[in-house]
Structure 1
């Protein structure tokens, strides 16, 4: 019975991981579309975006993800 429960837990975990992957794709697509629209409308430049990304990245003292 434990093996069945473990298999079902694993299947549910894999399903949830797939859902997260789809959600991540759609969020990335929406963000990319929004940025492209801002650039197309002349509200920001790619260089300004790159500079801000670099600035924010430099604020990260350490990775938010634990390293083993």
Structure 2
């Protein structure tokens, strides 16, 4: 008797894990979006501040990625 799971079953399990991750990602993004909207509504931060910070963090990340891809020397 073969105790190793079939390749098809492994694909089914992988698809189920991916579905779980998608659901978790959706819930995380939804919660974060709700928090940001509340911060904006309460005047804790402005939409402009949020956009500026997101752009700055994106530029910083792009710079780090670019630097890590360049050969040293």
Give TM class, smaller chain.
0.7 to 0.9
Report the aligned-residue RMSD: 1.5
- Structure 1 residues 4-13 or 54-63, which shifts more? 54-63
What TM-score, normalized by structure 1, do the two folds share?
Answer: 0.84
What TM-score, normalized by structure 2, do the two folds share?
Answer: 0.78
**Once the two structures are superposed, what CA deviation does each residue of 1:12-63 show, in whole Å capped at 9, x if it has no partner?**
0000000000000000000000000000000000000000001100101228
Q: Secondary structure at the match of 2:37?
A: helix
Q: Following the alignment from structure 1 to structure 2, what is the Cα–Cα distance between the partners of residues 57 and 32?
A: 18
Corresponding residue for residue 66 of structure 1: none
- The answer for unaligned runs of 5 or more in structure 1 is 64-68
How many residue pairs are counted as aligned between the two chains?
61
**Which structure is larger by alpha-carbon Rg, 1 or 2?**
2
**Matches of residues 1-68 of structure 1 in structure 2 within 5 Å?**
5-60=6-61, 61=63, 62=65
- The answer for unaligned runs of 5 or more in structure 2 is 67-73
Structure 1 runs of 4+ with >3 Å offset: none
